[in-house]
A and B are shown apart, each in its own frame.
Chain A
């Protein structure tokens, strides 16, 4: 047993740390630390800084312009970035679409789209879920009917994260209605500026318009935008789900969240003493920290397996489930740490709530917003219930 990182990996960690010290503007890291929402321009700014260093797509092979990192290196990068309060790299183009195009896309698709993901020309969003197809994704109905050199797309996607900023959407669409539902799905790339597409924002309960509904009304999509083979889209979507799971536990986010929580608890006064010395609150922090220490090691154990060439299996469901619980507990404790000021609710999205001066610690408003927003962690990317079913079926054979 050896729980230390190799000298090369330690060297890599030092390099990442140095880079973050030099290149991460405090303007951005302060916003991230205070759990404020980033603008489109700020996200693009950080992507550009990473791209300049060749680090935007750590998971992509070098031949496609990626950094070609090992799973361990990616983990180190994600952990260091999160604890330095760097903006997160948006997953849609880099983590989700990129690997699918690299494995299943045509040469033209790879040459057209991959560089534009890296240089920020395209902003992708993910069009899987529909009003009637959430956990049961295979029941999706948005249809694509072949008409000469086009598919004609009709239907609706929903919960499309940051679709308001996107110029492209990758969609799962139905190209066949007979047979098993999974067998009639295709993977289609759609230009959001095509006539017939309407985007409607959905306000979330934290007061941010983070997700959207996307409507398709006779949208004509060139057939060359089909990825791989017609009716094989489900396989590609599954590939995406099983291969991009190194950061599923969110260890870095949890570690960063815990350090913020402690910082707040040191600054707050409860009964004349720093909150962090309050026995009840200190116990709550300790409990979640102990959980995190164990979960971080589960994560490393699975990374070591991946490094040894094993494909991650249903264990990643455990990581998602536990990682989500830990992050949500940290969000809950952070909100409670700011005390009565957690009641304030400055929000651009909700009428009458757009004040920019609220009392209490700087972290207060962001703490409530992040708590509410991160309820999504147990809903999207396969809900906690879906993960439990996978564990029961695939690990336990129940």
Chain B
């Protein structure tokens, strides 16, 4: 039993954190090999395990970096690699192309029902909340009969984009007889989606750690009634509860990282996403509360952490969605 990272993983995490402190651009991340670390050697990278994903995304979460690594690499390159598109996967992992993965459709919640259809190599349908769609050079699109690859400049493809609460952008994607190439069946999506959920949870873990540190510091320095508010036992206990919850989230993330390629992966996905989502919301709410008014201001760093944590709960299904999945999987 070993709950530690390899030397390479630790070094990458450290250098990522140092670099992100001064440069949060995607190019800087790619230069350090953060993208390649998310792909296995067989696919042209040098990592790709649960622990690699955990290390990279926890660091991104701590540094509050907005990056294409989740959509373009974990999901995008992940699907491409499994589809045997090794060249494209490698290009995505170094930022040479941008991949967006279009799965959800309007009117659906998190259940992934697909109505987009392919006829004679042409796709028609609508996709909603496609993260990174506006800058994508390539789109991976789920259709009723499999997974398709679409060129970002293809005919009949339109994207209207908008901002997300975590600082990224997404778009509504419309396909009208859009040329596409089938790259595999829908089962291709399972592992990359699970890996993406791990990435979101690890990112949330990093953001929760940042929120807890910020709040602990504030409790030590903010004075009311002539003393630091951290000297009030009521607040000490609240903070103690909170870091205990974060420790639970950490173990939940480890659980998923360690079982990402196991038979019972789905149960771990559901368990981890459900618990981390719930804890993320609680950390968001409690850290604002413990700050008082300052915690509600946009100028203060906590605001973007809070929105990131809420977004982490929402993406790929919230805590209740995964609670239900866990119930179904555990009953079986």
Is A345 part of the binding interface, using a Cβ–Cβ cutoff of 8 Å? yes
**Is B293 touching A380 in the complex (CB atoms < 8 A)?**
yes
**Is B163 touching A379 in the complex (CB atoms < 8 A)?**
no
Return the contact of A343 from the options B113, B224, B311, B324 (Cβ within 8 A).
Answer: B311
Contact with A along B57-95 (1 / 0, CB 8 A): 000000000000000000000000000000000000000
Return the contact of A359 from the options B172, B293, B323 (Cβ within 8 A).
Answer: B172
Which A residues are in CB contact (< 8 Å) with B307? 205, 345, 372
Q: Determine the distance from Cα of A281 to Cα of B311 in the docked complex, in whole angstroms.
A: 19
Closest A residue to B316 by CB, please name it.
A340
**Is B298 touching A204 in the complex (CB atoms < 8 A)?**
yes
Which A residues are in CB contact (< 8 Å) with B109? 268-271, 275, 339-340
Is B129 part of the binding interface, using a Cβ–Cβ cutoff of 8 Å? yes
**Is A280 touching B298 in the complex (CB atoms < 8 A)?**
no
**Is B166 touching A202 in the complex (CB atoms < 8 A)?**
no
Which B residues are in CB contact (< 8 Å) with A368? 165, 310
- Residues 143-194 (chain B) with a chain A CB within 8 angstroms: 160, 162-166, 170, 172
Is A349 part of the binding interface, using a Cβ–Cβ cutoff of 8 Å? yes
Return the contact of B320 from the options A207, A280, A342 (Cβ within 8 A).
Answer: A280
Contact with B along A309-352 (1 / 0, CB 8 A): 00000000000000000001000100110011111111101101
Is B121 part of the binding interface, using a Cβ–Cβ cutoff of 8 Å? no
Which B residues are in CB contact (< 8 Å) with A167? none
Which B residues are in CB contact (< 8 Å) with A385? 232, 234-235
Is A284 part of the binding interface, using a Cβ–Cβ cutoff of 8 Å? yes
Is A216 part of the binding interface, using a Cβ–Cβ cutoff of 8 Å? no
Closest A residue to B297 by CB, please name it.
A202
With A205-B306, A341-B129, A359-B172: A379-B164 Cβ-Cβ less than 8 Å: no
Q: Determine the distance from Cα of A319 to Cα of B155 in the docked complex, in whole angstroms.
A: 60
Is B111 part of the binding interface, using a Cβ–Cβ cutoff of 8 Å? yes
Of the candidate stretches A15-23, A56-64, A128-136, A231-239, the one touching chain B is A128-136
**Is B110 touching A339 in the complex (CB atoms < 8 A)?**
yes
Q: Determine the distance from Cα of A384 to Cα of B290 in the docked complex, in whole angstroms.
A: 10
**Is A205 touching B296 in the complex (CB atoms < 8 A)?**
yes
**Is A383 touching B164 in the complex (CB atoms < 8 A)?**
no
**Is A379 touching B298 in the complex (CB atoms < 8 A)?**
no
- Residues 274-309 (chain B) with a chain A CB within 8 angstroms: 281, 285, 288-289, 292-293, 295-299, 302-303, 306-307
Closest A residue to B168 by CB, please name it.
A343
Is A8 part of the binding interface, using a Cβ–Cβ cutoff of 8 Å? no
Is A150 part of the binding interface, using a Cβ–Cβ cutoff of 8 Å? no
- Residues 20-62 (chain B) with a chain A CB within 8 angstroms: none
Q: Determine the distance from Cα of A163 to Cα of B186 in the docked complex, in whole angstroms.
A: 55
A-B contact number at CB 8 A: 141
Q: Determine the distance from Cα of A330 to Cα of B153 in the docked complex, in whole angstroms.
A: 43
Distance in Å: Cβ of B238 to nearest Cβ of chain A: 9
Is A355 part of the binding interface, using a Cβ–Cβ cutoff of 8 Å? yes
**Is A204 touching B296 in the complex (CB atoms < 8 A)?**
yes
Is A203 part of the binding interface, using a Cβ–Cβ cutoff of 8 Å? yes
Q: Determine the distance from Cα of A129 to Cα of B224 in the docked complex, in whole angstroms.
A: 12
Which B residues are in CB contact (< 8 Å) with A225? none
Distance in Å: Cβ of A337 to nearest Cβ of chain B: 10
Is A159 part of the binding interface, using a Cβ–Cβ cutoff of 8 Å? yes
Q: Determine the distance from Cα of A335 to Cα of B163 in the docked complex, in whole angstroms.
A: 17
Q: Determine the distance from Cα of A350 to Cα of B169 in the docked complex, in whole angstroms.
A: 14
Contact with B along A98-139 (1 / 0, CB 8 A): 000000000000000000000000000000010010111001
Is B245 part of the binding interface, using a Cβ–Cβ cutoff of 8 Å? no
Which A residues are in CB contact (< 8 Å) with B228? none
Which A residues are in CB contact (< 8 Å) with B232? 385
**Is A345 touching B160 in the complex (CB atoms < 8 A)?**
no
Interface size on B, residues (CB 8 A): 49
Q: Determine the distance from Cα of A207 to Cα of B106 in the docked complex, in whole angstroms.
A: 26
Q: Determine the distance from Cα of A158 to Cα of B306 in the docked complex, in whole angstroms.
A: 22
**Is B164 touching A129 in the complex (CB atoms < 8 A)?**
no
With A139-B224, A353-B163, A385-B234: A379-B296 Cβ-Cβ less than 8 Å: yes
Distance in Å: Cβ of B240 to nearest Cβ of chain A: 15
Q: Determine the distance from Cα of A218 to Cα of B310 in the docked complex, in whole angstroms.
A: 44
Closest B residue to A132 by CB, please name it.
B223
Residue picked from A335, A340, A347, A349, most chain B C-beta under 10 Å = A340
Which A residues are in CB contact (< 8 Å) with B320? 280-281, 284, 336
Return the contact of A355 from the options B162, B298, B303, B311 (Cβ within 8 A).
Answer: B162
Is A388 part of the binding interface, using a Cβ–Cβ cutoff of 8 Å? yes
With A134-B292, A379-B289: A343-B166 Cβ-Cβ less than 8 Å: yes
Residue picked from B170, B172, B223, B298, most chain A C-beta under 10 Å = B298
Return the contact of A379 from the options B165, B226, B292, B311 (Cβ within 8 A).
Answer: B292
Is A6 part of the binding interface, using a Cβ–Cβ cutoff of 8 Å? no
Distance in Å: Cβ of B225 to nearest Cβ of chain A: 5
Is A193 part of the binding interface, using a Cβ–Cβ cutoff of 8 Å? no
Closest A residue to B108 by CB, please name it.
A269
Q: Determine the distance from Cα of A272 to Cα of B110 in the docked complex, in whole angstroms.
A: 11
Q: Determine the distance from Cα of A107 to Cα of B3 in the docked complex, in whole angstroms.
A: 75
**Is A346 touching B163 in the complex (CB atoms < 8 A)?**
yes
Which B residues are in CB contact (< 8 Å) with A268? 109
Contact with B along A148-176 (1 / 0, CB 8 A): 00000000001100000000000000000
Is A358 part of the binding interface, using a Cβ–Cβ cutoff of 8 Å? yes
**Is B293 touching A375 in the complex (CB atoms < 8 A)?**
no
**Is A343 touching B165 in the complex (CB atoms < 8 A)?**
yes
Distance in Å: Cβ of B1 to nearest Cβ of chain A: 34
- Residues 90-146 (chain B) with a chain A CB within 8 angstroms: 104, 106-111, 113, 128-129
Q: Determine the distance from Cα of A158 to Cα of B296 in the docked complex, in whole angstroms.
A: 13
Closest B residue to A389 by CB, please name it.
B234
Closest B residue to A268 by CB, please name it.
B109
Is B315 part of the binding interface, using a Cβ–Cβ cutoff of 8 Å? yes
Which B residues are in CB contact (< 8 Å) with A388? 234
Is A39 part of the binding interface, using a Cβ–Cβ cutoff of 8 Å? no
**Is A343 touching B129 in the complex (CB atoms < 8 A)?**
yes
**Is B314 touching A342 in the complex (CB atoms < 8 A)?**
yes
**Is B163 touching A359 in the complex (CB atoms < 8 A)?**
no
Which B residues are in CB contact (< 8 Å) with A203? 297-299
Residue picked from A204, A336, A360, most chain B C-beta under 10 Å = A336
26 contacts between A and B (CB under 8 A): A135-B292, A136-B224, A139-B226, A158-B293, A205-B302, A205-B307, A268-B109, A271-B109, A284-B320, A328-B285, A339-B109, A340-B109, A343-B129, A343-B314, A344-B164, A344-B170, A355-B162, A368-B165, A372-B307, A375-B289, A375-B296, A379-B288, A379-B289, A379-B296, A383-B289, A383-B292
Q: Nearest 5 CB-CB pairs, A to B?
A: A205-B303, A203-B298, A345-B165, A136-B224, A353-B163
What 4 additional pairs, Cβ within 8 angstroms, besides A271-B109, A336-B314? Answer: A281-B320, A353-B163, A371-B310, A385-B234
